[in-house]
Amino acid sequence: MRRLILPLIEDKAKKRVLVWSAAVFALIYSGLGHCPWTRPVYLPLTDLDRAIPLLPWTLLIYLSDYLFILLVLLSLKKAEDFSTAFYRMIVGIGLSFVIFLFFPTVYPRPLLPADPLWGETFLFLHFLDQPTNCFPSLHVSMTLIAAASMRPSSRGWRAFGWMWALAICLSTLTTRQHYVWDVLGGAAIAWAAWVVKARREP
């Protein structure tokens, strides 16, 4: 696979880059979710979609995705490792946004859990995150890119990180936020983003 080589993000610019990219991401993601360009479509539910139960408590795992990605990025001390992981995430997000724009999908969200605590939590999540922007799953693609970027870390952290990442991917189904197709699409996006690498210019 031919690599796309990009310049390094130096240490002094890391925080600024993370803050600005998060702000731009939230703005575009919210815009695509609330104002889709074309009419969103439902994807067919697979037998696996129907078989996986709604587990309200896994919403905590689902929401931990943001913490996981941030911890991984902050753990990458070398500029090359951080920059490569960051650029791969940007490429993954960009590819996903193009799909969200031209092929918006929507998930048939289930009834809220009867338990008041989880019901209110899901209600708040549904308020913040529209049922569109399903395929491909950004939770899955960003989590897998982050997990695969932990190679410079210790073996224990890598093992724990992969277990955490796989739990997040599974939680997209147990919280009924995504289709199985979304998970597969997110994994494909993560693989496609691997074409990017950062290194210091000679």
Q: Is the pLDDT of residue 201 over 80?
A: no
* pLDDT for the residue numbered 153: 67
Separation between Cα atoms, residue 96 and residue 33, nearest integer Å = 12
Do 100 and 133 touch, CB atoms closer than 8 A? Answer: yes
Q: Is the pLDDT of residue 1 over 60?
A: no
> Which residue spans within 23-156 are E strands per DSSP?
41-42, 105-106
Separation between Cα atoms, residue 197 and residue 76, nearest integer Å = 14
Residue-wise pLDDT for 162-189, tens only, equals 999 999 999 999 999 999 999 999 999 9
150-162 b/e with 16+ CB inside 10 Å = b? beebeeeeeeebe
Query: Average of pLDDT values for 114-137?
Result: 82
Q: Is the pLDDT of residue 72 over 80?
A: yes
Query: Average of pLDDT values for 4-22?
Result: 86
Task: Write down the mean pLDDT value for the chain.
Answer: 89
Query: Average of pLDDT values for 103-129?
Result: 81
Token pair listed for 15: 């925080």
Confidence band of 202 (pLDDT split at 50, 70, 90): low
Do 141 and 96 touch, CB atoms closer than 8 A? Answer: yes
Roughly how many angstroms between the first and final C-alpha of the chain, as a whole number? 22
Q: Is the pLDDT of residue 94 over 90?
A: yes
- The domain segmentation of the chain, as residue ranges, is 87-103+135-197
Do 104 and 132 touch, CB atoms closer than 8 A? Answer: yes
Q: Is the pLDDT of residue 26 over 70?
A: yes
Token pair listed for 175: 């919280």
Strand partners, 42: 106
